[in-house]
Structure 1
Amino acid sequence: MNESKTKNLVGTGLCMALGLLLPQLFHAIGAGTVFLPMHIPVLLCGLCFGWQYGLICGVITPLLSSILTGMPPIFPVGLTMMFELAAYGALTGLLYRKFNLNIYIALIGSMLAGRIVSGLASTLFYGMAGKEYGLQLFLTGAFVTSIPGIILQIIIVPLLVIALEKGRVVTQPIKLSA
């Protein structure tokens, strides 16, 4: 296994560990659903290590959290989060690392698309669970309640990625020449 792949796997494992730890800390002070702490490591993973690693981190982290801590409950919330976070991880990696978009555009675009995936998955899984889910619940959960988390992600995630790149902990994406 080459050094780059090893670094990506270790980094992904660290992101998953953060994805298990941060929610515990935020939920201890009652701020988990507001600050979306599991999203941060998944977004970081895609931005730092690429779409494949972000996708894996996004699927496995909520599943592991559900199994190990009971948060989120596996159905329907955990399953919905697996789809949502997989979209975040994959899309940040694709937009930033593969298509060389600006980090803020990649992040915000991924956050919007991931919320659409979440809405679709919620509609399906909540319906299967016999629970009501509609546009108002989607907008409230995806945008209104989570405004502090969205702001935190837009501020913190790019700063962390840029610092990791400048420190050569992760490689910068190869920019396409015009």
Structure 2
Amino acid sequence: MRPIHRRLAPTAAGLLLLPVALVGCGIGDDDAKEKPPAKPARAPAEEAAARSRERVQAYLDAMTAKDVAAGRSQLCAVLHDGFDLAATGPNGDFADHFQVPEAAITAIRSGPLGQEVSVSVSVTAGKRTVARPLVFTVTRQGSDWCIAGESPGGGPAANPTPTGVTPTRVS
């Protein structure tokens, strides 16, 4: 009878300690049922749109204020040299003879190279004011976001079809 008793004692002790060990591991814990699962801060698409909006808005604000350093800081490092040469030039975004009384973000969408942020910029030169559509491409580099490109945007005149013919709707 002695061999059975020696096997039964450790088994009984293990069975008594098993519920305590399982609760310590979180199995059977009632608090886990009461807590809702943690939500991520933002979905990746929302995060990309928000960061792109922030970068482009900061660039537009810098352009309005003629703050070249603030504008440069919104750009990807690859664009810095070109920006330094052209920003205050005759047709640069920060040229002295241009005033930017109004600039607004009109749309944000995903594109092949990153987030495409469409804007409308009103530019005044002398007595003439012209609204120009632009598209900024914003990408993620490491953990940071930056403007990777700027191009004219807008209607068919800015984006012609390969044949030069604008398609029309057929009834």
Decide: shared fold, TM above 0.5. Answer: no
Higher RCO structure, 1 or 2 (CA under 8 Å, sep 6+): 1
Radius of gyration: which is bigger?
2
Would you tell me which structure has more strand in proportion to its own residues? 2
Name the TM-score, length of structure 2 as normaliser.
Answer: 0.28
Structure 1 or 2: larger helix share?
Answer: 1
Q: TM-score scaled by structure 1? A: 0.28
